């Protein structure tokens, strides 16, 4: 896909990875970026970069009515980046109740699915375009320390495959991005190694240009992804040592 001249929409644009997406897309000469956030006042610095091209949009992706309204208002989008997400770092059994698991599924799975459904006709009208879903390596292998987050990203990974097949006929490129630990607020308490958000964003935008469907940005993600091909049970057993409430040191 040719990013130059395209119209992009990004959810969670005020976040660690989201804000870098806006900056890098501007460098690639997009004609417009709808920068979405729950609180648009958090977008002031990004809008100040280029107020003609960065359009702030209020959007909570778990609000179905808001998603439908934004899809109607932003009918010229050709590159949809589903980036908003959260991890509450809870175990599946150790958590006090289902609250964290439901919240993560609501945002990381249903929120992304709802965006893809709302924007599929928009992308079709633009000749196909692309959807980028920011998933996680933990969607490929469960880390019990944040077991319910891993499960929500696994659901989103499967959904990304299904959407790719369903939208192939209309020419929409569907990309899944599976980083390891990224240096943002979400992973502030996690140990190194961490990949910088700039590397995640650059690898992802290159994948959009090249038409590459699966992206593993950074050394940690690439290493674990290749171990998963050769020794999936070994990786499962190793990550199984990192239980809820214990330290992640040595991960
Ligand atoms: N950091 C990592 O290690 C890592 C690794 C793999 C994948 N990822 C994925 O990368 C994506 C971006 O995360 P990040 O690392 O950049 O974390 P971040 O800095 O915490 O950003 C998360 C963004 O999501 C937004 N958000 C949360 N709930 C939302 C909702 N209901 N509706 C709309 N926006 C909402 C946040 O907005 P508010 O400011 O309003 O909360 C924020 O803009 C997530 O999908 C995450 O799962 C991160």
- Write the secondary structure of 42-96 as one string of H (helix), E (strand) and C (coil): HHHHHHHHCCCCEEEEECCCCCHHHHHHHHHHCCCCCEEEECCCCCCCCCCCCCC
Residue 193, preceding bond cis, omega within 30 degrees?
Answer: yes
pLDDT at 31 over 90: yes
pLDDT tens figures, 32-82? 999 999 999 999 999 999 999 999 999 999 999 999 999 999 999 999 999
Quick check: CB of 185 below 6 Å from ligand 1? yes
Question: 155 CA distance to ligand 1 centroid (A)?
Answer: 17
Question: Domain ranges in the chain?
Answer: 7-239
According to the model, what pLDDT value does residue 163 have?
98
Q: Decide: 34 and 9 in contact? Cβ < 8 Å.
A: yes
Quick check: CB of 192 below 6 Å from ligand 1? no
- Best of 20, 86, 149 to mutate for ligand 1, by most ligand atoms within 8 A of CB? 86
Question: 230 CA distance to ligand 1 centroid (A)?
Answer: 31
Residue with CA closest to ligand 1 atom 2 = 182
Confidence of residue 250 (pLDDT cuts 50, 70, 90): confident
Q: Decide: 60 and 107 in contact? Cβ < 8 Å.
A: no
Between CA 169 and CA 184 the distance in angstroms is 36
Structural tokens at position 28: 């690639």
Question: 107 CA distance to ligand 1 centroid (A)?
Answer: 10
What does the DSSP 8-state code read for residue 102? H
221 class by beta-carbon count within 10 Å (0-12 exposed, 13-18 middle, 19+ buried) = buried
Strand partners for 67: none
Confidence of residue 251 (pLDDT cuts 50, 70, 90): confident
Question: 15 CA distance to ligand 1 centroid (A)?
Answer: 6
Quick check: CB of 134 below 6 Å from ligand 1? yes
The closest-lying atom of ligand 1 relative to the alpha carbon of residue 82 is 45
Q: Decide: 111 and 63 in contact? Cβ < 8 Å.
A: no
41: number of Cβ within 10 Å: 9
Q: Decide: 204 and 28 in contact? Cβ < 8 Å.
A: no
pLDDT tens figures, 178-227? 999 999 999 998 999 999 999 999 999 999 999 999 999 999 999 999 99
Question: 231 CA distance to ligand 1 centroid (A)?
Answer: 30
Concatenate the DSSP letters of all residues of 174-215 into one string: EEEE--SSBSSGGGTTSPSP-B-HHHHHHHHHHHHHHT-SEE
Question: 186 CA distance to ligand 1 centroid (A)?
Answer: 7
Q: Decide: 116 and 169 in contact? Cβ < 8 Å.
A: no
Question: 50 CA distance to ligand 1 centroid (A)?
Answer: 23
pLDDT tens figures, 88-122? 999 999 999 999 999 999 999 999 999 999 999 99
Q: Which long-range contacts (CB under 8 A, 24 or more apart) does 59-68 make?
A: 59/11, 61/11, 61/36, 61/107, 61/111, 61/112, 61/114, 61/115, 62/106, 62/107, 62/110, 62/111, 62/114, 64/114, 67/111, 67/114, 67/115, 67/118, 68/118
Domain 7-239 listed as CATH 3.30.1600.10: no
According to the model, what pLDDT value does residue 209 have?
98
Quick check: CB of 251 below 6 Å from ligand 1? no
């Amino acid at each position: 896909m040719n990013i130059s001249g395209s119209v992009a929409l990004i959810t969670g644009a005020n976040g660690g990875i989201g804000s870098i997406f806006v900056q890098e897309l501007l460098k690639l000469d997009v004609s417009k970026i709808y920068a979405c956030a729950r609180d648009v006042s958090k977008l002031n610095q990004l809008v100040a970069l280029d107020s003609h091209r960065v359009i702030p949009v209020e959007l909570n992706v778990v609000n179905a009515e808001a998603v439908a309204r934004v899809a109607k208002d932003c009918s010229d989008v050709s590159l949809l980046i589903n980036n908003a997400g959260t991890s509450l770092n809870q175990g599946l059994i150790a958590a006090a109740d289902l609250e964290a698991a439901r919240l993560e599924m609501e945002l990381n799975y249903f929120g992304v699915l709802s965006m893809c459904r709302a924007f599929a006709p928009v992308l079709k009208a633009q000749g196909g375009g692309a959807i980028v879903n920011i998933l996680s390596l933990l969607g490929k292998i469960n880390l019990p320390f944040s077991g319910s987050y891993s499960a929500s990203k696994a659901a989103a990974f499967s959904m990304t495959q299904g959407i790719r097949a369903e939208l192939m006929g209309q020419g929409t490129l569907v990309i899944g991005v599976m980083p390891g630990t990224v240096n943002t607020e979400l992973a502030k308490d996690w140990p190194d190694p961490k990949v910088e958000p700039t590397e995640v964003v650059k690898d992802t935008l290159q994948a959009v240009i090249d038409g590459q469907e699966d992206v593993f940005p950074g050394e940690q993600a690439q290493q674990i992804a290749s171990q998963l091909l050769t020794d999936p049970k070994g990786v499962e057993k190793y990550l199984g040592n990192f239980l809820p409430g214990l330290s992640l040191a040595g991960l």
